[in-house]
Amino acid sequence: MVDNQSTTMGVVAALLVIFVAGAFCQVLTTPDLRITPSVRRLLVGVGNKQVLDCFITTSQPGSPSDLKWEVPSSTVTYLRMTKTDNKLTYHHYLTIDSFTSDYVGIYKCKYEQMETAITLVTIEEHKTENEFVFGNKSVTLECTLDFTDSSTQGTFHEWLKENSSLSLLKKPERFNDLKNGTLIITDPTRADSGPYVARYNVSGVDLKTYDCEVVYRASPLVLDMSRSKNIVKGDDLRLECLVKGYPRTNVTWKKNDIDMKVDLMHVSMEDLNGFKNAVLLISSVTYEDEGVYTCVAKVPTDEKTTKSIIVRVKDPLQWLWPIIGILCELIALTLIIFTCGKIKKDDSITKPADEREGLLRQGSARNREHDKHA
C-alpha cells in the first residue's frame, strides 16, 4: 500500500516537473511582440514626423511578411531583419512624415496569432521661433498647446535647452521664463542659438510630459584660428574649426583653395560640438602637406564663413642646427684664444734677447765715446 502511494506521488512529481519545464521552455521560445514608443496612447504634434517600430524577437525562423500593421490611414512602411545572439528580430517600421488629425486612431500590429496596439492622439503646437540678429537687445521664444482630445490636459512646467535646465547655462539671469510657455532672452548671442524645449505636464496619456521644440536659429560663424602652425615632419597634424550657430552645418576643408577629401591612410575628419567634419587630421605629415588650410561653414542659402591657417613642415633635425652653430662658435673662439695666447708667449721669449742686444749696442757706443775723450 505504501509502495503504491510512493509510486503515485513520484509519477505526480515527475509530471509536475515536466509541466513546469514545458511552461518555462514555452516562455523562452514564445516570440515577444512590441511597439516602440512603448506606450498605449501617444501625443503627436500637428506637422511633426512620427515613426512607429513594431518588432518581434524569436529563436524560430519565420516570415517577415507575417508582421503586419493595421492602420486607419495610408502610411509608409518598410521591413528590416536583424540577428543577434542566435535570435531573429523582425522590424516593421511605420512612418508619418507630417502628422495631422487624419492620422488619429488605433494602430495595430499583428504577427500570426499575436497582436499589440498603440493609439495616436493629435495636439496642436502654437510656436514663435526666432533668428539671431547682431545687436538685438532681446528675443522671444514661445510654445503653447491646444489639446484636441478632451480627455487630455496639460500645464506648463519648464524651459530646457538641449535637455539641460536654463539655470546651468552661461549667465542664466539672461533667461526669463514667464512660466506660461514664453521665454525671453536678453542680450542674446550666437552661442544661445539651438533647440529649446517647452515641457508640459500632461494627463490622459502614458507619457506624463510633452516636449514642444522651439528653434532659435543663427547663421554659422567660424571663430578665429591661429595665423600659422609649425609641425615637425612625421608628426600628426590636428586642425580644429570652431563654429557657432544653429542648425549645425557640415564643415568642408580646403588646401590652397582646393577641396580636400578623406584618405583613410593619410587624411581623416571628425565631428566637433555637433558640426560634422570640423576636425581635420593628417597622419605622418610630409613636406607636401605644407600650405594654407581653410575651413568653410556653409548654410543652405550658400552663405558661408571661413578662416585659414598656414601650416609649415619643419625638418625633424632642425633642433640640431642651432646646437651645431653654437659648437662651431665655441670651437672658433677656442682657436682664437689659443692662437692669441701662443703669440703672446712667443713675444715674451724674443723680447729679452732684443733687450740684451740693445744694451750691448749702447755699451759699445759709450766705450767709443770714452776713447775719443781720452
Cα angle for residues 125, 130, 133 (degrees, 5° grid) = 180
pTM to 2 decimals? 0.69
Confidence of residue 358 (pLDDT cuts 50, 70, 90): low
**Which of 114-118, 244-248, 281-285, 330-334 has the weakest average pLDDT?**
330-334
Percent over 70 (pLDDT), the chain:
77
CA distance 161 to 285: 41
* The predicted structure's pLDDT at residue 162: 86
pLDDT exceeds cutoff 70 at 38: yes
Other beta carbons within 10 angstroms of residue 357's beta carbon come to: 10
* The predicted structure's pLDDT at residue 84: 55
Looking at per-residue pLDDT, the higher value among 341 and 179 belongs to 179
* The predicted structure's pLDDT at residue 170: 86
The per-residue pLDDT for range 13-23, each reduced to its tens digit, is 555 545 444 43
pLDDT exceeds cutoff 90 at 321: no
Looking at per-residue pLDDT, the higher value among 343 and 232 belongs to 232
Query: In order of start, what are the domains of the chain with their CATH numbers?
Result: 30-122 (2.60.40.10), 129-219 (2.60.40.10), 223-314 (2.60.40.10)
Confidence of residue 25 (pLDDT cuts 50, 70, 90): very low
Cell of 312: 609649415
pLDDT exceeds cutoff 60 at 11: no
Whether 253 contacts 297, CB under 8 Å: no
The per-residue pLDDT for range 259-293, each reduced to its tens digit, is 999 987 899 999 999 999 999 999 999 999 999 99
53: nearest Cα among 98, 113, 96:
96
pLDDT exceeds cutoff 80 at 67: yes
Mean pLDDT of 114-136: 93
pLDDT exceeds cutoff 70 at 177: yes
* Helix, strand counts (H, E) of the chain: 2, 25
